[in-house]
Amino acid sequence: MSDFIERVSQISGRSKVAERQALTEEATKTSVILPFLQALGFDVFNLDEVIPEFIADVGTKKGEKVDFAVKIDGKIEMLIEAKPVNTKLGDTQYNQLFRYFSVTEARLAILTNGREAWFFSDTDEPNKMDKKPFFKFDFQNYDKEQVDELARFQKLNFAIDEIVEAASNLKYTRAAANYLRRQLDDPDDDFIRIVGKQIHEGSITKNVAEQLRPAIQAALDEVIRDRIQDKLSITFSGEKKTAPEPEPETAPSSTGSTGDEIETTEDEVAGHLIVRAIAARHVPVERINIRDAKSYCAILMDDNNRKPICRLYFNSATTRHVGIFDAAKNETKHKVSGPEDLYRFAEDLEAVIKAYLE
């Protein structure tokens, strides 16, 4: 697996270069897409494995081509349509994939621009490509779980039935997660009634539903906070077991540093994890980074000091503050008792995070 992770890392580097220099679809194919197929274990120079400009007549349409067809044991398993790296996949038309999907043996189709790869199958109707991808992989921004998922598509691991089953599971998981996120932000009437029937005796009239709505919203927030706190407790207990004992002569003081040393305290780590939890609705948590300094601990987006989210002023033994940034990078300080008070500023934290995405 480590070899595959390294190959994906190399593709990531190629993708970044291509985004600056590849001006055409052909350049994108050469610089990223063919190396990507090689990383999956396919011989791009063997026409028994990778067929460029694949032609399959569909009805009255003759001579149309899809960019690549990939074979395993003589059977077409994947169709790939390429777009220039500067093309947004959400804006593209990929009609060839839809048409070819139904007239070939393939049950997997990939749409890629060298920056992202979107994976499609036929989880909705047999032999008809789904309208939405079941998996998206961003070559320039990914985590270990996504690499593990991408590893399914390697030639040596390729098992189409398992891939389609996983695709179906991912589709329903994603749909359920999107539904729950909507309920967290603004519970709809049906959701209020479902929960209301469990906690209220009698009919759930419109007036009753409106009375229950704030209580249910507060309960949702409480459940999330409790789950995050449980995970934080597990994390800290694990860290305490493995953390080395500091040397007596250089042990940091309670203020967090001695001389030129900088100590990242448990409360600063907790603050970082809480900001990650708040940000998780909008960005992968790996994009929320911590960078400690003598006078404060910074929480940044993309580990970029030009994208500050907040600062934790936790080194004082008597008073603590958090500095919350806005989209214009203006900092407002607030007195707090500990990292858990960051939840009070969840809306402000989400606002600056969303501003950096625009």
The burial class, CB within 10 Å (0-12 / 13-18 / 19+), for 21 is exposed
Question: Domain ranges in the chain?
Answer: 2-172, 189-238, 262-357
**pLDDT at position 240, please?**
44
**pLDDT at position 232, please?**
58
3-state secondary structure of 55: strand
Q: How far apart are CA 184 and CA 181, in angstroms?
A: 5
In the sheet that 116-120 helps form, which strands lie side by side, from edge to edge? 50-55, 65-72, 75-82, 108-112, 116-120, 135-138
Q: Which amino acid is located at 49 in the chain? A: E
Tokens of 57: 């007549």
**Hey, how many other C-beta atoms are within 10 angstroms of the C-beta on 294?**
12
**pLDDT at position 238, please?**
53
- Mean pLDDT in runs of 10 for the chain (358 residues)? 87 92 89 94 94 75 80 91 88 77 85 92 84 89 88 88 81 81 85 89 87 84 73 53 41 40 84 89 88 90 92 87 92 90 91 90
251 φ, ψ to 5°?
Answer: -60, 130
Relative to beta strand 65-72, strand 320-325 is unpaired
The burial class, CB within 10 Å (0-12 / 13-18 / 19+), for 51 is middle
CATH T-level topology, domain 2-172: tt1808, chain A (3.90.1570)
CA-to-CA separations, 45 to 3, 42, 51, 54, in angstroms, rounded: 21, 9, 9, 14
Q: 304: which DSSP letter? A: -
